[in-house]
Amino acid sequence: MSALKISSEQINRQRDFSYKIKSINDDFERKNARKKKMFIATFGCQMNSRDSEKIEGMLFEMGFEKTDNEKDADFIIYNTCCVRENAENKVYGNLGYLKNIKKEKPELIIALCGCMLQEESAVDIIKKKYKHVDLAFGTFNLYKLPELLYTRIESGRTVFDIWKEHKEIAENLPSIRKYSYKASVNIMYGCDNFCSYCIVPYVRGRERSRQSKDIIKEINELVKDGVKEVTLLGQNVNSYGKGLDENISFAKLLRMINDIDGLKRIRFMTSHPKDLSDELIDAMAELDKVCKHIHLPFQAGNNDILKKMNRRYTKESYIELTEKIKRKIPNISITTDIIIGFPGEGEKEVSDTIDVIKKVEFSGAFTFLYSKRTGTPAASMENQISEEDMKKGFNKVLDVLNPIIYKKSSEHIGKVYEVLCEEQGDDGFISGRLDDNSLVHFKGEKKLCGEFVNVNITDCKTFYLIGEIIKD
């Protein structure tokens, strides 16, 4: 079965609503000698960041201009996350703050979208406690923002439009990228893995892959627009291609993208250890544009915990997989995710996690305290861990992990690497990334941002490198 795409008629319908809103905003500008302003706050993962770029693109077409100050905004939208409780609490806190702004500016429109809106409990709280919210929609109907916003403007009523599921993919939405020289590209949406601690399959839906021709077309257009590096996004990129009519895998897609003239680097995330194929490892080893870095979450090192997590691999198979990757790609950087404090995890289980860290020697890791998410199987498991015990385990893991990361960083000292210059800080230092995803800071002019330069690594800290540009 081929992936379903939202029809051109539906997309054109949304453009019609965009034009109607732009006409309203143009009238506002003529009367007030200023454009209406939008404020976008993004919580959560790179998928959300990519969605926010599309939201900004749509709002720009409607005649809004961006502001970084909520108090100046005429339209505020929070693109929410629900993976961890603190992300939700931050949204609620911000909404409380907006209540006073709304009193001062009754014409202000406040909108919510994203994963949090796919949770019935969160929607109920918003409807009861935050009645100043004007518009809310979830993850499946982002493309309908123009229609929903127009409905709110014309009717003056609160609009909640939450879909439980949606199988169609919206192509050709407008987008405004944060960077001119690099971009994220969705290759698939949703997740079929159902890890017992994770809410994502329930709020993002089942896996839906984009057709390869649409992905290649998008990247070609990005390259023509000056993009040198793309990051391919999917909850599990290894599953790319399932359900499509074409004979395609993620490894084959990488080979197609590698052939695009003008593209310099290809990154991707995230790979699930259960189905990382030899075909993909070979592609990574052979393709010159694919960065020598893989993010491979192992989450826990104890087999009983992994089984309860529904991860579908073992400690031993994970270590064996990383050894295979290192044999095929000797200079690769492996980073990971680790959860501490999953139900039933005691000292022995934490020691198994530490053993994996010692054996693999990760170049970096995102470490998290387990966050109980209502609606997931893990939330109702016995032997929930106290926050005090979680923190003890967390500190034990960091005591082993951080020296290893520092050791991996120090191996760069005295070597020269090609770096993509990304941003300049107030201190005059440029920040950039090596092929292996290591972050490096060095003195340089702002005009270098977006360019590749050769940098000699002179020193390192645990989480970043320090270097000097090699002068021609």
Please tell me the predicted confidence (pLDDT) of residue 45.
Answer: 83
One domain, residues 50 and 160: yes
Please tell me the predicted confidence (pLDDT) of residue 76.
Answer: 97
Q: In whole angstroms, what is the distance from residue 23 CA to residue 146 CA? A: 13
One domain, residues 33 and 107: yes
Please tell me the predicted confidence (pLDDT) of residue 171.
Answer: 79
pLDDT band at 1 (very low <50, low <70, confident <90, very high): very low
One domain, residues 144 and 273: no
Q: What is the CATH number of the domain that holds 264?
A: 3.30.750.210
Q: What is the CATH number of the domain that holds 464?
A: 2.40.50.140
One domain, residues 191 and 201: yes
254-298 pLDDT, tens per residue?
999 999 999 999 999 999 999 999 999 999 999 999 999 999 999
Please tell me the predicted confidence (pLDDT) of residue 14.
Answer: 93
Please tell me the predicted confidence (pLDDT) of residue 172.
Answer: 75
Please tell me the predicted confidence (pLDDT) of residue 344.
Answer: 96
Cβ 205 vs Cβ 140: under 8 Å: yes
pLDDT band at 150 (very low <50, low <70, confident <90, very high): very high
Please tell me the predicted confidence (pLDDT) of residue 3.
Answer: 56
Query: Picking from 79-88, 206-215, 359-368, which range would have the lowest pLDDT averaged per residue?
Result: 79-88
Domain boundary (367, 394, 411) is at 411
Domain boundary (236, 263, 291) is at 291
Please tell me the predicted confidence (pLDDT) of residue 2.
Answer: 46
Tokens 């379903």, located at residue: 4
Residue 382 has pLDDT above 90, yes or no: yes
202-252 pLDDT, tens per residue?
888 889 999 999 999 999 999 999 999 999 999 999 999 998 999 999 999
Span 60-78, average pLDDT: 96
Cβ within 8 Å of residue 129, ≥6 positions away: 92
Residue 166 has pLDDT above 80, yes or no: no
Which domain does 209 fall in, by range?
177-291
Tokens 């603190």, located at residue: 86
Query: Picking from 169-178, 186-195, 320-329, which range would have the lowest pLDDT averaged per residue?
Result: 169-178
How confident is the prediction for the chain on average, in pLDDT?
93
- Greater model confidence, 62 or 120: 62
Please tell me the predicted confidence (pLDDT) of residue 293.
Answer: 97
One domain, residues 271 and 390: no
Q: What is the CATH number of the domain that holds 143?
A: 3.40.50.12160
Please tell me the predicted confidence (pLDDT) of residue 427.
Answer: 86
8-42 pLDDT, tens per residue?
888 889 999 999 999 999 999 999 999 999 999 99
Secondary structure letter of residue 84 according to DSSP:
S
One domain, residues 325 and 216: no
One domain, residues 398 and 421: no
Please tell me the predicted confidence (pLDDT) of residue 375.
Answer: 85
Peptide bond into 458 cis (omega under 30): no
Complete DSSP assignment for 257-314: HHT-TT--EEEEE---GGG--HHHHHHHHH-SSB-SEEE---B-S-HHHHHHHT----
Tokens 């005429």, located at residue: 74
Cβ 254 vs Cβ 234: under 8 Å: no
315-351 pLDDT, tens per residue?
999 999 999 999 999 999 999 999 999 999 999 999 9
